[in-house]
Amino acid sequence: MPELPEVETTRRGIETTVTGHAIAALIVRERRLRWPIAAGLEDEVAGQRIKAVGRRAKYLLIHCQRGTLILHLGMSGSLRVLESTTPVMKHDHFDVLLDSGLILRFNDPRRFGSLHWTGADPAKHKLLKSVGPEPLAREFDGAYLFRTSRGRKVALKNFLMNGHVVVGVGNIYASESLFRARLRPGRRAASLSKRDAARLARAVKAVLGKAIRVGGTTLRNYVGADGNPGYFRQKLYVYERAGRPCRVCRTKIRKVAHGQRSTYYCPECQK
């Protein structure tokens, strides 16, 4: 599943190709994505120039002259920049045809992706208005995490994966961030001290920042879910390393279940 670093990598991958170009046409082959693509969207966007490509949480924001396309890659979606003559394959659900002759092609076998349009501020869109801060933003820091975690009995890892607390911290990045911060995933969120919270905020920024950097170096005109996600290129310390020695202290990494998800930690390094 594309995580935040993969979405950011996709954004960077398409940004230079599409910015400044006009949308000649939107060609929709399958409207039934996670939410149906609105009827008439083709007419809405045709002729509009793309001003910038942004991202909020795991949504790509294609800012046009009169509004914004809000695109989610879902579980299995990918976006590629291709020549418009490229034959259509199975699961190629829509193309954004640019005046340059290139297309932005969306492929998504599981159809959990989505495409919305808003003529207003995308931050106020129903999909985005209640999402938490970006992990790399300045507002996400130790003081914020400390304040937000007061009174929260939930396990620290689940707290970190809650998109209202912070966006984009999936299972892998939560496990790795908690290792880096030397905190047990099963601790109550409310048990964080101010120093713990500061260490955790720094760890999240470091782990996600690194994933974005390594993901961003591999792409040219092919971007998306299977375009070498950042976590495949990053040295993992605990994730899926149960029974193997900790890279820091050689203690065996443990695996426990939190909800339906597996959690990995070092019983020596993480307290």
Tell the smallest beta-carbon distance from residue 155 to Zn ion (Å). Answer: 20
36 catalytic? Reply is no
Tell the smallest beta-carbon distance from residue 181 to Zn ion (Å). Answer: 13
DSSP H or E run through 8? helix 4-18
Is residue 161 part of the contact set for Zn ion (CB under 5 A)?
A: no
How many residues of this chain bind Zn ion (CB under 5 A)?
7
**CB nearer to Zn ion: pick between 56 and 199:** 199
SS3 149: helix
Nearest one of 13, 76, 79 to 224, comparing CA atoms: 79
**CB nearer to Zn ion: pick between 145 and 269:** 269
51 catalytic? Reply is no
Tell the smallest beta-carbon distance from residue 70 to Zn ion (Å). Answer: 41
Q: Active site residue: 3, 6, 134, 176, which one?
A: 3
Question: What angle separates helix 4-18 from helix 194-216, to the nearest 10 degrees?
Answer: 40
Tell the smallest beta-carbon distance from residue 249 to Zn ion (Å). Answer: 3
- Rg, C-alpha atoms of the chain: 20
Phi-psi region of 181 (alpha: psi -120 to 50; beta: other; left: phi over 0): alpha
The single-letter code of the amino acid at 120 is A
CA-to-CA distance for 62 and 208, rounded, in angstroms?
23
Structure tokens at 169: 């911290």
- Measured CA distances, 130 to 53, 161, 166 (Å): 21, 15, 11
Residue nearest to Zn ion (CB): 246
- Window 229-268: contact mask with Zn ion (x via CB under 5 A): -----------------x-xx-x--------------x-x
129 catalytic? Reply is no
Q: Active site residue: 202, 233, 247, 261, which one?
A: 261
157 catalytic? Reply is no
Q: Active site residue: 11, 58, 199, 241, which one?
A: 58
Pairing mode of beta strands 59-64, 68-72: antiparallel
**CB nearer to Zn ion: pick between 193 and 251:** 251
Pairing mode of beta strands 92-98, 102-107: antiparallel
Tell the smallest beta-carbon distance from residue 247 to Zn ion (Å). Answer: 8
**CB nearer to Zn ion: pick between 59 and 265:** 265
CA-to-CA distance for 120 and 116, rounded, in angstroms?
12
Q: Would you mind telling me the total number of residues written for the chain in this entry?
A: 271
Contacts to Zn ion by CB under 5 A: 246, 248-249, 251, 266, 268-269
List residues with catalytic annotation. 2-3, 58, 261
